[in-house]
Structure 1
Amino acid sequence: MNKKPSFLSTPRGWLILGVVASLTYFLLVEHKQHLFIFLPYLIFLLCPLMHLFMHRGHKHGEHHHHEPGADETKEEAYRRGLEQGRREAKDKPED
């Protein structure tokens, strides 16, 4: 089974991580005074963002109920529906 690699282990993830690290370094070195003025506000803004991203990993909001046949694939459902439609068309009297 092929497992999707995590975002940070992909080349795109490394690129974004490098850009974020570079921007953070630039902000800390060049704009230290400006950054420290807004630091309390940045911390408050970071809290809801961390909350959203952390809960995404826990699969919150995906409350699926297991019903019989819930594991049926789309292809199987399509074939079953196609066969049922053909049977109904064959049994239907022509006008």
Structure 2
Amino acid sequence: MNKKPSFLSTPRGWLILGVVASLTYFLLVEHKQHLFIFLPYLIFLLCPLMHLFMHRGHKHGEHHHHDPGSDESKEEAYRRGLEQGRREAKHKPED
């Protein structure tokens, strides 16, 4: 099975992670006062971003192909189970 490697396990991912880490460190050390002024706004901006990323786990991007034969086989299996249940109920001894 051919599985695509995670983005962070690629060299490009490590490079981007390093750049983001160094920029974050620079912002925290050099511009602490400026960052704290905008912190409430940054939190509010983070909410919609988190909302978008959290919905990726719900698999909304998958496309489901409808197989017309699958409905017929499910319906047939349901009918067979229903008939079998009725037969078993008729032959069940009364207590």
Asked if Structure 1 and Structure 2 have the same fold, meaning a TM-score greater than 0.5 normalized by the shorter chain, the answer is yes
- Structure 2 segments unaligned to the other structure (5+ residues): none
Aligned length: 95
CA spacing shift, 1:91–1:45, aligned 2, 3 Å: same
- Structure 1 segments unaligned to the other structure (5+ residues): none
CA spacing shift, 1:29–1:77, aligned 2, 3 Å: farther
Query: 1:55: Cα distance to partner?
Result: 1.5
Which deviations, in whole Å up to 9, do the C-alpha atoms of 1:55-78 show, x marking residues without a partner?
Answer: 224321435243159999999999
Single out whichever of 20-29 and 85-94 deviates more from structure 2. Answer: 85-94
Root-mean-square deviation (CA, aligned residues, Å) is 13.4
Superposition TM-score, scaled by structure 2 size: 0.65
Superposition TM-score, scaled by structure 1 size: 0.65
Query: 1:53: Cα distance to partner?
Result: 1.6
Runs of at least 4 residues of structure 1 off by over 3 A?
Answer: 68-95
Q: Percent identity?
A: 96
